[in-house]
Amino acid sequence: LSLKLMKNPALVKELADVAKDEALLQGVLMRIQESPNSSELVTYAPFTLFPSPVPKAVFLQALEVQTHFNTLVDKISQDSDFLQEALANTIEVDDFTARLFRIHQQILEEGRSQKIVLGLNRSDYMLDQRQDGTSALKQIEINTFAASFGGLSSRTPDVHRHILKVAGRPEESRQILDNNPAAGLARAVAKAWELYGSERAFVMFLVEEVQRNIFDQRYVESELWRRNIPTIRKRFDDVCGSGSLDQDKRLFVDGKEVAVVYFRNGYMPQNYTSEECWDARLMMERSRAVKCPDISTHLAGTKKVQQVLARPGVLEKFFPDQPEAVKQIRATFAGLYTLDMGPEGDQTVEMALAAPDRYVLKPQREGGGNNIYGAEIRQVLEGLKDATQRTAYILMDKINPAPVQNYLLRQGGPLTLSNCLSELGAFGAYVRHGADMIMNECVGHLLRTKSSEHSDGGVAAGVAVLDNPLLI
């Protein structure tokens, strides 16, 4: 979009007011910070005033490779030897990952009760700017747990279409892509529910106490209700207080049979506020209910697994007769480096200390705001360079996207033109029944944009805002 349009203050102010109203009309909603558990007062979820340009080739590349990433995550989750080997050093020093791994081991020893596997994930990328001006799609991470904003991102295309029409740009308005991840995610949940085989059983959304972005999840729930699939919302405390397994390992919560547990909570240490929360997680994992994700798929999404997958020959192990799939996946990898004890890890430490601005230091955590950048990398690694605690991290090349200008609209925020960076996500959904893959699809996309002054953090963390790609 032209700078002439973006630098017309009167028009921008008018468009911003129209945009906020349209966001409310379309249901791009969030609860306010002051009352995060009440829907009495809501505001618009933060979003960009204009859609952001994204090269068509890399956008299509992200969508096309998603089914291979679905397959990869599923194969990793079934390979207990690979998970054991990949995470062996990490679980020695990272208590949270170790506790998850112990649950994984207990389930393996008892024998998995769950025959149906449901995966709802999101692979996130940034566009690395090459010296010749072209962009390369580089993966930041794959979220196998609580991949959010499938609901709200289904509602934002119409907002940007309307803004562009009001701005007198009907051609660009028609270029905004349809996008409905909520329907695709719900379709996969519905398939898993059907395979479970009880019309009286519920889909349980396991949620946290603070629910500011509840509308994002509600859109997926409403898609399920349209299919006559009942849903309930429970917390760890609820499962612990009223949850039980019968002799067939069916899960009951408040007397209701649960067919599918869709985890929206449980990916951060602070989600487990007591030992009872861990007991509830174990009980759910032991049950016949379809967990999304199950414990092994949760572990498949760790940063350490991401780093190990970048080693030569590892992808070939999971795709022995599919060189094209290996090529497509590997093309998205940024440089990933081990911090395990030994010569290779020592070399990684020295490399990071010599040029910390070229890398990102990543712990085994999800949810945004956990990564370490710049001078802080040097500070952390100088303290840990000879300690086994360094193996709780991996090192990754820093991706350098080209900034674009846009306005970031958020409640109470100033209307200023900012230099922005965008992150593209592709939603994947798959269902496996025993050995048979019943569904494997890319079901939509997510574009999030933030001011270039912020290194890390998503929409829920209050840094990024929702966006739409304008393909160029």
Which of 70, 89, 148, 265 is the catalytic position?
148
Which of 135, 358, 367, 455 is the catalytic position?
367
To the query of whether residue 422 is one of the catalytic residues in this protein, the response is no
Average pLDDT of the residues in 372-381: 93
Q: What are phi and psi of 326, to 5 degrees?
A: -60, -45
Residues in the annotated binding site for substrate: 122, 217, 448, 450
pLDDT(198) > 60: yes
To the query of whether residue 362 is one of the catalytic residues in this protein, the response is yes
Distance, CA of 401 to CA of 270 (rounded, Å): 32
Which of 52, 143, 179, 406 is the catalytic position?
143
Q: Would you tell me how many other CB atoms lie within 10 Å of the CB of residue 438? A: 17
Residue 454, pLDDT score: 62
Beta strands 393-397 and 359-363 are antiparallel
Residue 460, pLDDT score: 56
Report DSSP letters for 125-141, one per residue: EEEEEPTTS-EEEEEEE
Distance, CA of 352 to CA of 21 (rounded, Å): 47
Residues in the annotated binding site for ATP: 141, 303, 362-371, 373, 396-399, 423, 456
pLDDT(196) > 90: yes
Q: What is the pLDDT of residues 392-447, one digit of tens each?
A: 999 999 999 999 999 999 999 999 999 999 999 999 999 999 999 999 999 999 99
Bigger pLDDT: 400 vs 456 = 400
Distance, CA of 296 to CA of 76 (rounded, Å): 8
Which of 22, 141, 223, 285 is the catalytic position?
141
Decide: 206 and 265 in contact? Cβ < 8 Å. yes
pLDDT(305) > 80: yes
Distance, CA of 68 to CA of 66 (rounded, Å): 5
Decide: 470 and 51 in contact? Cβ < 8 Å. yes
The kind and range of the H/E element at 444 are: strand 436-451
Average pLDDT of the residues in 189-216: 95
Distance, CA of 424 to CA of 341 (rounded, Å): 34
Decide: 373 and 456 in contact? Cβ < 8 Å. yes
Residue 364, pLDDT score: 87
Q: What is the mean pLDDT of the chain?
A: 94
The kind and range of the H/E element at 282 are: helix 275-286
Q: What is the pLDDT of residues 336-350, one digit of tens each?
A: 999 999 999 999 999
Report DSSP letters for 224-263, one per residue: HHHTT--EEEE-HHHHHHHEEE-TT--EEETTEEEEEEEE
To the query of whether residue 448 is one of the catalytic residues in this protein, the response is yes
Residues in the annotated binding site: 122, 141, 143, 217, 303, 362-371, 373, 396-399, 423, 448, 450, 456
Q: Per-residue confidence at 373, pLDDT binned at 50, 70, 90?
A: very high
To the query of whether residue 366 is one of the catalytic residues in this protein, the response is yes
pTM of the model: 0.95
pLDDT(78) > 90: yes
453: its two tokens = 């002054």
Which of 20, 31, 122, 286 is the catalytic position?
122
Residue 242, pLDDT score: 96
Which of 20, 191, 281, 362 is the catalytic position?
362
Q: What is the pLDDT of residues 293-302, one digit of tens each?
A: 999 999 999 9
Residue 455, pLDDT score: 62
Beta carbons within 8 Å of 69's beta carbon, 6+ residues apart: 121, 123, 142, 329, 428
Distance, CA of 385 to CA of 225 (rounded, Å): 53
Q: What is the pLDDT of residues 34-72, one digit of tens each?
A: 999 999 999 999 999 999 999 999 999 999 999 999 999
Task: Choose among 87, 217, 73: nearest CA to 141.
Answer: 73
Rg over CA atoms, the chain: 22
Decide: 417 and 6 in contact? Cβ < 8 Å. yes
Q: Is 118 exposed, middle or buried (0-12, 13-18, 19+ CB in 10 A)?
A: buried
Decide: 47 and 466 in contact? Cβ < 8 Å. yes
- DSSP single-letter state for residue 78: T
Beta-strand ranges (E) seen in 61-151 are: 116-129, 135-143
Residue 323, pLDDT score: 97
Which of 303, 304, 390, 432 is the catalytic position?
303
CA atoms within 13 A on the CB side of 126: 21
Residues in the annotated binding site for Mg(2+): 141, 143, 366
Decide: 176 and 239 in contact? Cβ < 8 Å. no
Residue 210, pLDDT score: 86
Beta carbons within 8 Å of 419's beta carbon, 6+ residues apart: 403, 404, 405, 451, 452, 453
pLDDT(368) > 80: no
To the query of whether residue 148 is one of the catalytic residues in this protein, the response is yes
Residue 457, pLDDT score: 53
Average pLDDT of the residues in 140-169: 96
Average pLDDT of the residues in 139-155: 95
To the query of whether residue 122 is one of the catalytic residues in this protein, the response is yes
Distance, CA of 107 to CA of 113 (rounded, Å): 8
- DSSP single-letter state for residue 453: T
Q: What is the pLDDT of residues 166-180, one digit of tens each?
A: 999 999 999 999 999
To the query of whether residue 367 is one of the catalytic residues in this protein, the response is yes
Average pLDDT of the residues in 69-89: 98
pLDDT(122) > 60: yes
Q: How far is CA 472 from CA 51, 123, 163, in A?
A: 12, 21, 19
Which of 212, 422, 448, 458 is the catalytic position?
448
Which of 366, 428, 440, 458 is the catalytic position?
366
Residue 26, pLDDT score: 98
Residue type at 415 in one-letter notation? L
Residue 113, pLDDT score: 87
